[in-house]
Chains A and B, each alone.
Chain A
Amino acid sequence: MTPAPGSANGNGGSFGRFWAMTVKEFIQMTRDRITLATMVMLPIMQLFLFGFAINTTPHNLPTAVLMRENSDVGRSILAALKNTDFFEVKTVVTRAEDMDAHLQSGEALFVVEIPEGFERSLRRGDSPSLLIAADATDPVAASSALGALSGIISTALENDRQVAFAEPVKPAFQIVQHRRYNPAGSSTLNIVPGLLGTILTMTLLIFTALSVTREVERGTMENLLSMPIKPLEIMLGKIAPYVLIGLIQALVIIGVGILVFRVPVLGDPLSLAAATALFVVTNLSIGYTFSTIAANQLQAMQMAMMFFLPNILLSGFMFPFAGMPDWAQWIGEALPLTHYIRIVRAVMLKGASIETLAYDTLALAGLMAVAMLIAVRRFRRTLD
């Protein structure tokens, strides 16, 4: 930028004005103690909640058993159900109406019905039916437990010698499975890197989404606009202090991930740092763009939330990206979290370096440039 004649004696020029803004924002940030504490506590809290509380292979699912006959076979099945930690047998009932009531009220998610004459049919070799009713309103919980249930029951009956051991059939071919990068299939390993991106998105969007509207609402914008500072300088000055906060948050999350959840960082830590810095700036620019569009802090907040939701749902954080329909994948490609999660999972779990992830890195940089361009264009230098 060319220095105007009036500031010939001034130092710094454009950088000086950017620095003025950064120092000001930084002081204001440190003065707001509650927000500052939230910034540090929020990532840790979310990490523990997600890391420990969320598990896609559920345990102790409440189960009811409908016993139509009192037999050894029935007791064997009941004992087997009680022995696994998949199911927790809450109640044993004898009437069909009770079974429906339990499912409907949610007291039981599963009901195992042992029909009358089951043992006799079994002994005769009639291959009788055993009914398992599941509350499938939560398909994830129902399907994985249903898959486990038949195995549990047949093993129990074989062990208790209620039925003969099945003749092992030699399969025509064998399938060898390799669970690469996550041999134990632990969902924590998948969630923690995703969470890093999610937490950064949520907190950083809000910080900058409020920054311009706050000045407007407090009446300080009029003064700021009457000063010789340019929109780009204001934007970069407002973003800079939060880059530091974003990087500290990332460090905390990765640190807790390594120490508490045993998540490895197999790739180059510098690649991870570079991608994280890019992602932080991208989110801050998007938040700032909302701030230049919204009329007040509430609107800005709502816009940030509107943006946050598809980020969570369509980025591959919660649901597998490849399973989504094409249109949803296209939306996902336009969200920074999608690219960042790919980068982080690849670097942390697969040992990839940033060069092999050029597409996602460039996509992040592109989204950042677009957001900044809109923000600088949208920023009004007048009160018209």
Chain B
Amino acid sequence: MTAAETYQVDAPETVIDVHHLTKSFGGRKVVDDVSMSVKKGRIHGFLGPNGSGKTTTIRMLCGLLTPDSGDGTCLGFDILTESDRIRRRVGYMTQKFSLYQDLSIRENLEFVARVYGLPDPRGKAGAAIERLGLKGREKQLAGELSGGWKQRLALGACILPEPALLLLDEPTAGVDPKARRDFWNEIHALAADGLSVLVSTHYMDEAERCHEIAYIAYGKLLAEGTVDEVIAGTGLVTFTVSGPDVHHLQGELENRPGIDMIAPFGTSLHVAGRDAAALEQAIAPYRDRPGLKWEKGEPTLEDAFIDLMRRSEDNFK
């Protein structure tokens, strides 16, 4: 009968399936013709520079923004007409902490449980507090928590109504490495239980922890697939050069034909190009320079992203 019941009878493999989403603010296209699909039980990384349209896309998925054009489904529900049902089954964690700072941990969780109409909101909140390891601090105001604990609480509130899909908007921004690691372990545990996750991030190490990634820049989706697929898709050949004076070398190499991307990594430099022969030719004059050590390496995800970003910049400037 309804889409919801269909979903429960035979779960489709795809939990997010949207096509040609476009959204403009004040005449500027923030999201431009984005199509993406996320499969059930997978962690889908959503990457891109600041202002690339990640948050806008996520908001369109959960009904907080109406797309100017495009359509699709989220958990089998139409994102344009069934956002009420999507809200019930989706946990959305905003970029900025958006629980009530002047309510205690317990009061916030009970509020969420009541809004979602869960039976025994007190019991549910208590269980969540225990799971989060916040027992004994439940009366503390949410606004007094540290960044890491706020993020844990926000995630706890998100998964309290047992959603089928989590939309996490830069959940680990401003959180220390230990808390980030714990957070990702939790996400993987949830995905193992069948929860699907779309998570936006800036961090490369986090991207590599995702099953699949999508890269967006200037509102356009530039690459999608597993980490290996995205790297392979760029077709880059990479050399790593290390030595005492590499930043000087960067300036010399910068505009040589055949070199598509240069990026410093500590005391070494990643030099990459899409045409292997042209790249070899470009670096040939420098290969025998004393002190420099050249090594042919595999391009990293970061190389791929920097290259994608450069190319999209060229297209939009």
A12 to chain B, nearest CB (A): 6
Interface residues of A in 1-45 (CB under 8 A from B): 4-7, 9-13, 16-17, 19-21, 23-24, 27-28, 31-32
A10 and B66 within 8 A (CB) = no
Is A362 on the interface with B (CB-CB < 8 A)? Answer: no
Interface residues of B in 72-119 (CB under 8 A from A): 83-85, 87-90, 92, 94, 96-103, 107, 110-112, 114-119
A120 to B306, CA, bound (A): 110
B166 to chain A, nearest CB (A): 12
A12 to B92, CA, bound (A): 23
A226 to B63, CA, bound (A): 7
A227 and B112 within 8 A (CB) = yes
A7 and B97 within 8 A (CB) = no
A228 and B87 within 8 A (CB) = yes
For B59, the chain A residues whose CB sits under 8 A away are: 383
A19 to B121, CA, bound (A): 12
Tell me whether A32 and B102 are in contact in the complex, defined as CB-CB below 8 angstroms, given that A222-B94, A226-B92 are known contacts. yes
Is B2 on the interface with A (CB-CB < 8 A)? Answer: yes
For B118, the chain A residues whose CB sits under 8 A away are: 9-11
B100 and A383 within 8 A (CB) = no
A24 and B63 within 8 A (CB) = no
A228 and B94 within 8 A (CB) = no
Q: Which bracket fits the contact residues of B? A: 35 or more
For A382, the chain B residues whose CB sits under 8 A away are: 63-66
A134 to chain B, nearest CB (A): 56
For B5, the chain A residues whose CB sits under 8 A away are: 5
A16 and B64 within 8 A (CB) = no
Contact pick for A220, options B62, B100, B107, CB 8 Å: B100
B97 to chain A, nearest CB (A): 7
B237 to chain A, nearest CB (A): 44
Is A384 on the interface with B (CB-CB < 8 A)? Answer: yes
Is A137 on the interface with B (CB-CB < 8 A)? Answer: no
A225 to B62, CA, bound (A): 10
Is A183 on the interface with B (CB-CB < 8 A)? Answer: no
Q: Name the CB-closest residue of B to A31.
A: B102
A218 to chain B, nearest CB (A): 7
Q: Name the CB-closest residue of B to A29.
A: B102
Is B4 on the interface with A (CB-CB < 8 A)? Answer: yes
Write out, one digit per residue, whether chain A residues 213-230 have a CB within 8 A of any chain B CB (1) or not (0): 000001111110111110
For A20, the chain B residues whose CB sits under 8 A away are: 111, 114-115, 121
Q: Name the CB-closest residue of B to A229.
A: B115
Scoring B4, B63, B114 by chain A CB atoms within 10 A of each residue's CB, the highest score goes to B114
A11 to B112, CA, bound (A): 13
A273 to B114, CA, bound (A): 32
Tell me whether A23 and B4 are in contact in the complex, defined as CB-CB below 8 angstroms, given that A6-B85, A226-B92, A228-B88 are known contacts. no
B102 and A28 within 8 A (CB) = yes
| Count of inter-chain pairs, beta carbons less than 8 A | 100
B117 and A223 within 8 A (CB) = no
A28 and B100 within 8 A (CB) = yes
B97 and A219 within 8 A (CB) = yes
B119 and A219 within 8 A (CB) = no
For A383, the chain B residues whose CB sits under 8 A away are: 59, 64-65
Q: Name the CB-closest residue of A to B112.
A: A227
For A28, the chain B residues whose CB sits under 8 A away are: 100, 102-103
Tell me whether A220 and B99 are in contact in the complex, defined as CB-CB below 8 angstroms, given that A226-B62, A228-B84 are known contacts. yes
For A9, the chain B residues whose CB sits under 8 A away are: 118-119
Tell me whether A7 and B101 are in contact in the complex, defined as CB-CB below 8 angstroms, given that A226-B92, A227-B112, A228-B87 are known contacts. no
Write out, one digit per residue, whether chain B residues 1-42 have a CB within 8 A of any chain A CB (1) or not (0): 010110000000000000000000000000000000000000
Tell me whether A7 and B88 are in contact in the complex, defined as CB-CB below 8 angstroms, given that A20-B111, A24-B111, A227-B115 are known contacts. yes
Q: Name the CB-closest residue of A to B25.
A: A384
B86 to chain A, nearest CB (A): 9
A218 and B101 within 8 A (CB) = yes
A4 to B83, CA, bound (A): 12
B102 and A7 within 8 A (CB) = no
For A23, the chain B residues whose CB sits under 8 A away are: 110-111, 114
A11 to B85, CA, bound (A): 17
A238 to chain B, nearest CB (A): 13
Tell me whether A220 and B98 are in contact in the complex, defined as CB-CB below 8 angstroms, given that A4-B85, A6-B85 are known contacts. yes
A314 to B150, CA, bound (A): 50
For B116, the chain A residues whose CB sits under 8 A away are: 7, 10, 227-228
A267 to B166, CA, bound (A): 59
B98 and A223 within 8 A (CB) = yes
A5 and B85 within 8 A (CB) = yes
B94 and A16 within 8 A (CB) = no
Tell me whether A227 and B87 are in contact in the complex, defined as CB-CB below 8 angstroms, given that A11-B117, A11-B119 are known contacts. yes
For B115, the chain A residues whose CB sits under 8 A away are: 16-17, 20-21, 227-229
Q: Name the CB-closest residue of A to B164.
A: A6
A225 to B63, CA, bound (A): 9
A107 to chain B, nearest CB (A): 53
Q: Name the CB-closest residue of A to B4.
A: A5
Q: Name the CB-closest residue of A to B163.
A: A6
- Using CB atoms and an 8 Å cutoff, list the residues of chain A in contact with chain B: 4-7, 9-13, 16-17, 19-21, 23-24, 27-28, 31-32, 218-223, 225-229, 381-384
Query: What are 28 A-B pairs at a CB distance below 8 A?
Result: A4-B84, A5-B4, A5-B85, A6-B4, A6-B85, A6-B88, A7-B116, A9-B118, A10-B117, A10-B118, A17-B114, A17-B115, A17-B117, A21-B115, A27-B107, A28-B100, A28-B103, A31-B103, A219-B96, A219-B98, A220-B98, A221-B98, A222-B96, A226-B63, A228-B87, A382-B66, A383-B64, A384-B65
Give the 5 A-B CB pairs with smallest separation, nearest first.
A10-B117, A20-B114, A223-B98, A6-B88, A226-B92
- Using CB atoms and an 8 Å cutoff, list the residues of chain B in contact with chain A: 2, 4-5, 59, 62-66, 83-85, 87-90, 92, 94, 96-103, 107, 110-112, 114-119, 121
